[in-house]
């Protein structure tokens, strides 16, 4: 009897141990299948890398064919026709429609976007994890600020762009200038802690800064307006109770925290309840547009405005009648945005106010002294700063 009980006891313990071992093995197996470094994920990543590599190889072969065919011509220049035909040869009918530009070119593949320059050099661009917030071009390169607060700088391709021409931000050759940045201009950048630094050498200029205007002025968080004669010396307090500032070669204006608009030179009050303004008009918080010079109402239901133009909430753009400067006439429909000297249509086409088309497939843009726009493929173009 004792032996029988002992044998049953050994069998039960063995069963428990077996179950425990099986549970451990099951946990290991499940972990191997579902973790970030799991077999399934590794297989998926390997497949993705394989198809991406195959696509990149086809693009390389296409460009080689295009360059070879171009070299057989009298000029020897790579053209859009050669690039499109070569892409079509590798990827089939219809793929040539994904080629844009006239040198350099962009080919939007299934997995990546490829930039092809006139020499046949290819650069691959993956989906961007950061959204462009602002960009500008200077003699030191192209500076770009993202929504993550990272300020980058890249060299522009070729010579410094001439006035009226765009430089392309090189996302593959960028360097990090500063982190935790909320705004910047040609001379300074401002951190999320409201500290202002000189962009060329990183030296700290001031604390408690809200916005900087060019090299010589900035406004603090407590709405004080300062003048900088030299960034090595202390700034001079000029005025208080200023929220925003505007100046051109003719006159200057400022807006108070109470949304009152004043002329800067003599503190003459122009209007109340002001949302924003430029050199000729101001927009109230009720979306009514007025002339600064005459105080007369121009329009209601206004979304945005720029010298001699305004956009209403219905996407209709109006401009000054050339025969009567006191009258505005409809000049365009289907407009998504009007910003300073350019506008964006609902079809994502970007135009100057004189109706000159800048580009298409535009995702976002900013139009002021430093104009830039970003295309759907993530390429950022920045205009020569003296062009606007």
Distance separating alpha carbons of residues 31 and 37, to the nearest angstrom = 9
Q: Looking at residue 368, what is its pLDDT?
A: 65
What spatial distance separates the first Cα and last Cα of the chain, rounded to whole Å? 104
- Max Cα distance, the chain (Å): 119
- In tens digits, the chain (388 residues) has pLDDT values of 445 444 545 577 777 888 888 888 877 777 666 665 555 566 556 676 788 888 888 988 999 999 999 888 888 889 889 999 999 998 888 888 888 777 778 888 887 788 888 888 887 766 566 788 888 887 778 899 999 999 999 876 555 555 556 677 877 778 999 999 999 998 999 999 999 999 988 899 999 999 999 889 999 999 999 999 876 678 899 999 999 999 887 889 999 999 999 999 999 999 999 999 988 899 999 999 999 989 999 999 999 998 889 999 999 999 988 888 778 999 999 999 998 788 999 988 999 888 888 888 888 888 765 578 888 777 888 875 543 3
Centre a 10 Å sphere on the Cβ of residue 340 and count the other Cβ atoms it contains. Answer: 18
Round to whole Å and give the CA distance between 388 and 371.
8
Spatial distance between the Cα atoms of 6 and 42, rounded to a whole number of angstroms: 49
How deeply is 333 buried, as exposed, middle or buried, from its count of CB atoms within 10 A (0-12, 13-18, 19+)? exposed
User: What b/e readout covers 109-146, taking b as 16+ CB neighbours within 10 angstroms?
Assistant: beebbbbbbeebebbebeeeeeebbbbbbbeebbbbbb
* Tokens coding 144: 């770009």
Whole-angstrom distance, CA of residue 340 vs CA of residue 354: 12
What pLDDT, on a 0 to 100 scale, did the predictor assign at position 387?
39
pLDDT at 287: 96
Angle, CA of 110, 111 and 114, to the nearest 5°: 90
Sketch the domain layout of the chain as residue ranges: 39-125, 134-239+277-387
Q: Tell which residue, 268, 264, 270, has the closest CA to residue 284.
A: 270
Contact yes or no for 206/226 (Cβ under 8 A): yes
Contact 342, 350 (CB under 8 A): yes
Strand, helix or coil at 40? helix
- Rounded to whole angstroms, the Cα distance separating 35 from 355 reads 54
User: Could you give the C-alpha distances from 43 to 15, 36, 49, 101, in angstroms and in order?
Assistant: 36, 11, 10, 37
Cα(17)–Cα(14) distance, integer angstroms: 5
């Amino acid at each position: 009897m004792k032996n029988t009980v002992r044998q049953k006891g050994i069998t039960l313990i063995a069963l428990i141990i077996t179950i425990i071992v099986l549970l451990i093995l099951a946990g290991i197996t499940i972990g191997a299948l579902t973790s970030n470094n799991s077999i399934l994920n590794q297989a998926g990543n390997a497949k993705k890398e394989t198809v991406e590599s195959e696509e990149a190889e086809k693009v390389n072969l296409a460009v080689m064919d295009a360059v070879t065919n171009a070299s057989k011509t009298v000029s020897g220049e790579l053209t859009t026709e050669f690039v499109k035909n070569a892409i079509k040869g590798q990827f089939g009918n219809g793929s040539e429609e994904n080629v844009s530009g006239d040198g350099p070119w962009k080919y939007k593949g299934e997995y990546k976007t490829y930039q092809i320059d006139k020499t046949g050099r290819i650069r691959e661009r993956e989906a961007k994890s950061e959204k462009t917030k602002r960009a500008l071009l200077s003699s030191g390169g192209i500076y770009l600020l993202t929504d993550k607060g990272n300020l980058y700088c890249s060299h522009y391709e070729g010579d410094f762009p001439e006035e009226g021409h765009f430089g392309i931000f090189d996302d593959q050759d960028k360097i990090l200038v500063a982190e935790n940045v909320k705004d910047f201009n040609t001379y300074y950048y401002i951190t999320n802690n409201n500290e202002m630094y000189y962009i060329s050498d990183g030296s700290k200029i001031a604390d408690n800064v809200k916005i900087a205007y060019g090299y010589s002025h900035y406004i603090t968080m407590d709405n004080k307006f300062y003048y900088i004669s030299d960034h090595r010396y202390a700034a001079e307090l000029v005025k208080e109770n200023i929220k925003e500032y505007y100046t051109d070669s003719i006159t200057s204006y400022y807006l108070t925290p109470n949304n009152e608009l004043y002329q800067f030179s003599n503190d003459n009050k122009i209007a109340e309840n002001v949302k924003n303004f430029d050199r000729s008009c101001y927009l109230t918080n009720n979306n009514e547009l007025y002339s600064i010079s005459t105080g007369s109402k121009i329009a209601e239901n206004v979304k945005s405005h720029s010298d001699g133009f305004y956009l209403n909430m219905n996407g209709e753009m109006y401009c000054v009648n050339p025969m009567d400067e006191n009258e505005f006439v409809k000049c365009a429909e289907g407009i998504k945005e009007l910003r300073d000297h350019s506008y964006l249509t609902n079809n994502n086409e970007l135009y100057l106010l004189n109706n000159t088309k800048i580009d298409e497939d535009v995702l976002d843009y900013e139009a002021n002294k430093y104009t830039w726009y970003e295309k759907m493929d993530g390429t950022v173009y920045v205009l020569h700063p003296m062009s606007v």
